[in-house]
A and B are shown apart, each in its own frame.
Chain A
Amino acid sequence: MTKTKTKTIVDQEGRADYYSLGFWERNRLSGGYVLKKKVMDIGVSIVRFILLFGMCFMILQPILNKISVSFMTEKDLYNPIVISIPEHFSTEFYQLAAELMNYSKSLVNSLVVSFTIALLQITVCTLVGYGFARFEFPLKKMWFAFVILVILIPPQTIASSLHLHFKFFDILGLFRLLTGDYVNLRGSALPYYLMSAGCMGLKNGLYIYMIRQFFRNIPGDLEEAAYVDGCGMLKTFVRIMLPEGKPILTSCFLFAFVWQWTDGFYSKMFLGKVSLLSVQLSRIVDSLGAYVQRINGVKTTISVAYSNAVLSTGTLMIIMPLIILYLFAQRAFVESISSTGIKM
């Protein structure tokens, strides 16, 4: 019996026979290695499961908590027995938060602004990133250092100046000559679109950097072949490089969309008059106070629990569209960016 078994191992073509052996037999033949490895593998996966489960729960718990609070009635909030499953199921917080945030209008505004801004930013950043990745030109290092500088400078540092820059906006004194006054662009959306067209929007330096890294990793042969065949620089870029860069462009677009959607700083600064979800959410508690005052006619203090329930419902309502988008684009988000292989 054992004689034949050892024979199968020695036999070069008998690999399949080796696998058909029982687990313990293989373990014996390998001198205990197979068992040790199996035990190690199971141990590692148990530890990994516990760790990952804990961390996933930690990330999801606040969201789950918000969901349960948002379906409660006011009575449930003060009921010490009710912790996570509401006793009286209701959607009154959703109605209230929607009214306070002017939800449908803000949602449309946010969608339009985030979409157009993200599209504009990514288009421009792609051009710039491609330029940095594929062309040699004088002072390239210096300009790239400026890109790094743009990543590093917090927008708050130049905020006060930008504030005034747009309050008294002028191009070489042209407007002043024509109309006799500066143009006040504050409160309109135009300055932010202009800034986005100039790669100075939210985290645009980062997009340039990521896109550059991606294009640097594509082999140059494709491009050379196109040039040899008489394809122009722009045509090569549009026809050959853009399709190649699809994964990174999708994920950058989604980043830009998400960050623009939740951004409070630029929105407050430049888009103050456009009612956006992020701005509405940041002052939902104040609007709740005003709302209650308007109904009661007197200034009443609202309980912390109540205002927080409204706040978490509002938060849910603002991240819900993003989560839906995220579920659809999950592959593009997680897989494509992993495959880009950012190298320094």
Chain B
Amino acid sequence: MKSKQKNKLAGLQRRKAIAGYLFISPFIIGFLVFMMKPFFQSLYMSFCEVQLGAGSFVQIWNGITNYKFAFLVDPEFNRLLVEELSRMIVYSLAIIVFSFFVSLILNQKFHGRALVRAIFFLPVILSSGVIIGLESNNQLMATLEATIEQSAQGVSITAGLESILRTAGVGVRAYEKVFEVIDNIYDVAIASGIQIIIFLSGLQTISSSMYEAADIEGCTKWESLWKITFPMISSLFLVNWIYTVVDFCMRSDNQVIKKIQTVMIDQQQYGNASAMSWIYFLIVLAFVGLTSLLISKRVYYYD
């Protein structure tokens, strides 16, 4: 009797397991057909010289020549890689801070909140796909900016502050980074549409009774920000950090991506392009892994 009951339970579990597999089967098929093969093929290709012939292509094993080419022969790749990575670190940090700040404001109650939220959602459209690439190399804007800077010397507040801080001589490089971000605040705002929404959704799940309790105990707003809000949505910092870094790496105005595409599509050097993208992918993966390990140690889970 008992074993029969157990069997029945196992049967239900098995049926559920089968149903589960049926539900995720599109993903499994898609992953195996479109991801697995290209993934390993591109890994293999990065160690090969690929020759395109009529009707077929030939891969000739040539060891790490492509990697050597990327690092030692190609004149731009190293420079672009370092530039993009340092840009990524600075901007991702700025985006996280900015979106956290904005979502804190947007979560408050005030008149016209719906309108402001709608405007802050526009970046999701503006930062996607080809539009961001067009924005970033807008020559007219660049020339306009240059003219304005020439004609209005010293008017800019940030430039004035920067020159004051520069004379202090301490941590000049750090200041420069900060001011670079402030000068490009539009890029930061444009890139943080999704992050703001994720933070907002997290903020709305925090129950107000916590704040009330803290308020009654004599906790100031500033303290409850760090003691309640921050820990409660700390897991979303992890999500947003990963999303931001990945998003930054995939943007079409990314110099490394542009380089890879030129090598692949215009110059038809599939081997070199694969090697370059693998180098890039591994560096980004290592970076994401390391940083998310660091963050996840500090993440607080409510349950």
Q: How far is the CA of A304 from the CA of B21 in the complex (A)?
A: 56
A344 touches B119 (CB 8 A): no
A137 partner residues in chain B, CB cutoff 8 A: 16-18, 20-21
A339 partner residues in chain B, CB cutoff 8 A: 201, 204
Give the residue of B34, B120, B129 whose beta carbon is less than 8 angstroms from that of A59: B120
B18 partner residues in chain A, CB cutoff 8 A: 137
A342 with B198, Cβ < 8 A, contacts A52-B116, A197-B30, A199-B31 known? yes
Q: Does B41 sit at the interface, judged by CB under 8 A? A: yes
Give the residue of A305, A337, A344 whose beta carbon is less than 8 angstroms from that of B197: A337
A255 partner residues in chain B, CB cutoff 8 A: 124
A344 touches B236 (CB 8 A): yes
Closest residue of chain A to B256 (Cβ to Cβ) is A156
A152 with B288, Cβ < 8 A, contacts A161-B39, A264-B252, A278-B130 known? yes
B23 touches A161 (CB 8 A): no
Give the residue of A131, A195, A319 whose beta carbon is less than 8 angstroms from that of B34: A195
B55 touches A182 (CB 8 A): yes
Q: Does A242 sit at the interface, judged by CB under 8 A? A: no
- Among A23-31, A89-97, A143-151, the stretch in contact with B: A143-151
Q: Does A338 sit at the interface, judged by CB under 8 A? A: yes
Contact string, A218-260, partner B, CB cutoff 8 A, digits 1/0? 0000000000000001000100000000000000000100110
The minimal Cβ–Cβ distance linking B257 to chain A, given in whole angstroms, is 5
Q: Does A323 sit at the interface, judged by CB under 8 A? A: yes
A59 with B190, Cβ < 8 A, contacts A259-B129, A334-B118 known? yes
Q: How far is the CA of A157 from the CA of B276 in the complex (A)?
A: 9
- Among B82-90, B136-144, B159-167, B223-231, the stretch in contact with A: B136-144
Q: Does A140 sit at the interface, judged by CB under 8 A? A: yes
A326 touches B27 (CB 8 A): no
A315 touches B129 (CB 8 A): no
B264 partner residues in chain A, CB cutoff 8 A: 159-160, 163
A337 partner residues in chain B, CB cutoff 8 A: 197, 201
The minimal Cβ–Cβ distance linking A342 to chain B, given in whole angstroms, is 5
Q: How far is the CA of A63 from the CA of B119 in the complex (A)?
A: 12
Q: Does A298 sit at the interface, judged by CB under 8 A? A: no
Q: Does B29 sit at the interface, judged by CB under 8 A? A: yes
Q: Does B35 sit at the interface, judged by CB under 8 A? A: yes
A315 partner residues in chain B, CB cutoff 8 A: 131, 134
Q: Does B214 sit at the interface, judged by CB under 8 A? A: no
A338 touches B197 (CB 8 A): yes
The minimal Cβ–Cβ distance linking A178 to chain B, given in whole angstroms, is 16
Q: Does A51 sit at the interface, judged by CB under 8 A? A: yes
Q: Does A330 sit at the interface, judged by CB under 8 A? A: yes
The minimal Cβ–Cβ distance linking B242 to chain A, given in whole angstroms, is 7
Contact string, A86-126, partner B, CB cutoff 8 A, digits 1/0? 00000000000000000000000000000000000000100
Q: How far is the CA of A168 from the CA of B280 in the complex (A)?
A: 26
Q: Does A130 sit at the interface, judged by CB under 8 A? A: yes
A48 with B105, Cβ < 8 A, contacts A143-B27, A263-B130 known? yes
Contact string, A300-344, partner B, CB cutoff 8 A, digits 1/0? 000011001001000100110011001000100110011111111
Q: How far is the CA of A140 from the CA of B24 in the complex (A)?
A: 10
Q: How far is the CA of A158 from the CA of B24 in the complex (A)?
A: 22
Q: How far is the CA of A119 from the CA of B273 in the complex (A)?
A: 33
Closest residue of chain A to B303 (Cβ to Cβ) is A343
B250 touches A319 (CB 8 A): no
A262 with B131, Cβ < 8 A, contacts A48-B110, A154-B281 known? yes
The contact sample of 12 A-B pairs, CB cut-off 8 A, is A60-B122, A137-B21, A160-B274, A164-B41, A182-B56, A198-B26, A262-B129, A304-B139, A319-B125, A342-B239, A343-B235, A344-B239
Contacts beyond the supplied A150-B35, A154-B284: 19 A-B pairs with Cβ under 8 Å: A48-B110, A137-B20, A140-B20, A143-B24, A143-B27, A143-B28, A154-B281, A161-B274, A164-B57, A197-B30, A198-B27, A198-B30, A200-B34, A259-B129, A264-B130, A304-B139, A308-B139, A338-B197, A342-B202
Residues in B lying within 8 Å of A, measured CB to CB: 13, 15-24, 26-31, 33-35, 37-39, 41-42, 45, 50, 55-57, 102, 105, 108, 110, 114, 116-126, 128-131, 133-135, 138-140, 143, 185-186, 189-190, 197-198, 200-202, 204-205, 235-236, 238-239, 242-243, 246, 249-250, 252, 257, 260-261, 264, 270, 273-274, 277-278, 280-281, 284-285, 288, 299, 301
3 shortest interchain CB distances as A-B pairs: A198-B30, A131-B23, A135-B20
